[in-house]
Amino acid sequence: EVQRLESTQTITQVFNVTGTGGTATTITIAIHGTNDTPYVVQQGATLAVHQNAGETGWGSTAPTGSFVVSDVDNNEGNSLTITGATAIAPATNNGYSYKVVGAHGTYFIKAGAATVNNGEPSTQFDYKYVATDSGNYSGSTTDTVHVNVTDGHGGTISVNLSTNLTADNDKP
């Protein structure tokens, strides 16, 4: 219970003790809560896109993933949100509320299911990756971005999203 105290909560523990000389006294300890930083429960796997030889684009498949973040301060409510990303209109973006532009594409992110994980409020964030460069090269590269998740009370954690892009060598 102590770990789940919010920054505005305090509990008091009272102990009655008797010293070796027989003197009785009371010891009172006040335990003040703090805002705990959210933490990643489940990190999303690295996504992958592939371009076949002779192609100039990445096709229409947008790989998807998810990650789950929890906050031990369960009395604060489930207020985990994305920060450091560009807000977009969910109605015109298939429910995605945020986007983060990487070196070779764009990640689209939305808050998914709010759940409880080991008694702690958790949020699953779903994302997809859309490669935007021509990819007209051979070899592979990784596009990684950092997304911040905040609990709305000062606690923030950074989550990395990564996609491996692989392009086959084009014939001369």
pLDDT tens track for 78-95: 578 888 888 898 888 888
> What are phi and psi for residue 12, nearest 5 degrees?
-120, 135
pLDDT score for 77: 56
**Residue 142 backbone zone (phi > 0: left; psi -120 to 50: alpha; other: beta):** beta
pLDDT beyond 90 at 171? no
Residue 28: per-residue pLDDT: 94
**pLDDT above 80: residue 70:** yes
Q: pLDDT-derived band of residue 137, with 50, 70 and 90 as boundaries?
A: low
pLDDT at res. 1 = 63
Q: What is the pLDDT of residues 44-61, one digit of tens each?
A: 778 888 776 666 667 667
Neighbours of 93 (CB within 10 A): 13
pLDDT greater than 80 at residue 23: yes
Average pLDDT on 107-128 reads: 84
Query: Rounded CA gap, 129 and 142, in Å?
Result: 12
What pLDDT, on the 0 to 100 scale, is given for residue 17? 94
Mean pLDDT for the stretch of residues 115-140:
79
Confidence of residue 172 (pLDDT cuts 50, 70, 90): low
